Chain A
Amino acid sequence: MVSVAGKRCVEQAFGAADIARVEAALGGARVAPARYALEASGPRRLLARAGRVDPCSIEAYGASGGWRALERALVIGRDGVIGELNAAKLVGRGGAAFPTGRKWEAVAKTPAGPRYLVCNADESEPGTFKDRVLLEEDPFALIEAMVIGGYATGAEQGYIYLRGEYPLAAERLEHAMAQSRAAGRLGPAHAMKPFAFDIELRRGGGAYICGEETALCASIEGSRGEPRTKPPFPVHQGLFGKPTAINNVETLVAVLDIVRDGAAAYAAVGTPGSPGTKLFCVSGTVRRPGVYEVPFGTRLGELIELAGGLSGPAPLQGILLGGAAGVFVGPDKLALPLSFEDARAAGATLGSGVVFVLDESIPLVPTLRRIAAFFRDESCGQCVPCRVGTVRQEELLARLANGKPRGDLAAERALLAELGQAMRDASICGLGQTASSAIESALVQLQPFVKSSR
């Protein structure tokens, strides 16, 4: 990370920093991030501008097709916008895959105002780094999408809840918001935007749980970041008890293409059940880890090939799909088409778009223990099944890893199954409900304690 004092937007994250790159950055040149690949196999929609158009210039944004979605939204009206989202079958990219059009419609139809639109930019799911690319490399796109969201839902105030560890994103968003206000695209009603809508940026304090939508609301309100029981759902009683649409960064940016070009054009790629494209965060033992935009339906194996294939000679061991809250699949699933419906049918999930590849050189058991430790650390501590269950799960894995089970392996697996069931059934929020899913799936799919002493 290089920062030059006195100027805006010269803080750059570009991975391994050699002298030439640092000198170039100090000289004011833009240095593309080296570490992550930013590639697409089909049309570049979400990544249309990332890494190619200056994220600090509203002129460059306008010249590269910016604001055209907002202009069309004003032509087709609120119902038209929601109709396009429904026709495009847009569902949330934050993990829960809820239909976005239905969410916006519910907020628009809930009478009690004021209404709010919140962008969930907390991006803390392990292995997820796609929103960061959009936030840092295309901040105006998020602002335009949120203005459209404000228009369609009837919200006059928006919030961006940004992961605390994304300083460059914070800087670029603040800068983009200021320029958008100056240009009359954000803030009070204006000729180009005949309704009022403004955005406030809030930065998280480093807690994964604050990405859960109700905990996020509590955090913005100034309370401890603890999830709230649903119902009531945020669309009826969300931020400050008012109707609130909460959407992931990628979901919002996807709105732009749909509104600008129409649902039919959006569905030119993808599957019938999951039209359009999706960002995947490919990491682990692949040659070119990074963010890849591919049409839904792309096969898991194709995506891994796009990322350069396995980085070493060891054969593929397994893939964690959807993040720590997702599931492990074995090498037999390389033909799985990456769409919501195919993942569901295979008992997997796309979650937040994590594709974490492990070859046989990576010891699985420590990886599982790390996942268990993660949930123990990140549980808010509110409810018993998750607060204590995540501790017991970690202890159980430690016993298996040390080869000292209570009873035998079968007894420990039965205990984990009961624990997992209770966490899934009785926890308040998605954290506890999914805290055992990756671990349980690994034990079934990859058999780590059976195969060897890894």
Chain B
Amino acid sequence: MFIKNIAQVFRELSKQKLRTLLTLFGIFWGTTAVILLLTFGTAVKANSSKTMHGMGESICVIWAGRTSISYGGFPKGRNLSFYKDDAQYLKEQVQLIDDISPQYTRQVPVKVNNKKQNFNINAVWPEFKEMRNMVPRGGSRFINPIDMEKRRRVVFIGNEVEKTMFGDEDAVGKLMYINGTPFTVVGVIIEKEQDGSYNGRDKDAIFMPTSTYLSIYGDRFVDNLVARAKDVNKTEQMKKAIVAAMAKKYRFSEEDTQALPIWDTTEADQFLNIFFNGFTIFLGIVGVMTLIVGGIGIANIMYVIVEERTSEIGVKRAIGAKKRVILMQYLVETFAIAAAGSVSGFLFSVVLIWGINQAPIEEFVGVLILNPAIAVTTIIIISIITLVAGWGPAKRASTLDPVVAINS
């Protein structure tokens, strides 16, 4: 009976080919749009936070700046510097700090066999590894506390450094002459995507323990500090505490925003989150709009069908169909039409997503995955729109005056 009715709906639809085609296309396209756009938004967001996190997740890079407020008898415009023990000082003073590392940087000539080239070397603590996502390739490692203690001449190098200096050979365990001093390569960073940087990309850099570095170069000043809070949500408080501690030590105003420039990647993360959520919601709305237009088409078609079947509805009522039976019948039929459009849209999306994943755009949008949450969201949206679209016509069908309907 139901099947028969639905078959009849499609027969009546075939009488109005253009209208039906447009409506089915509307639902089909709306479904495709919602799925693709949501999938796209999600993928782009995931991808961009992945490349952002090449820099490290929720870290603060701190530089010594120049005072902009006169304070404690000092005029403004005084250049500040970090010294060797500042990292240790902050670690003791600021409870909110989870990890901290000083970072010394300089350009030096590097020689391997007969190849010679200048590279940035960075002297850091072992803590640097976790904060800045220094992931060693399998079978290699980052510099460790024993290297620090014994001032070992070891380096951890970027994958591009390895490529440039060692070609296709594995650099781990090999010697590298830095300013003429031999160092052993203990680790190579894995290939990673990195959007944000300071002092150049990690793939082009060389890392060594600060203890070794100082024993050779004896720098007075630390270039910058890198710190991370115990709790990401307390990053703001940690920054304030760091400024306060340094202000006390170097005698500048805590209000001085220029004295201690801090790059907080948490801010970028939050911004990106808001941006990409907004982006996804926008794309979703565009898709939903398309579906709503399709829904209006369905409502329109159902009104025409009810109109054409007025007499039939009257007869059904006369022989005992209750209002809710008629209501249900037309709702089910509306859902049948919507299902025809959206199932094809669904299948088309799956094919399209597969196709897009074959294209070489992974770097920009990442891999598209039709996740269950998106599928379920889409189904719920379509169901709501269909229910709203079908309700009016079905209600009209069920409330027709049987006497008038029979004679129409």
B and A form one assembly: no
Contact surface of B with A, Cβ cutoff 8 Å: none
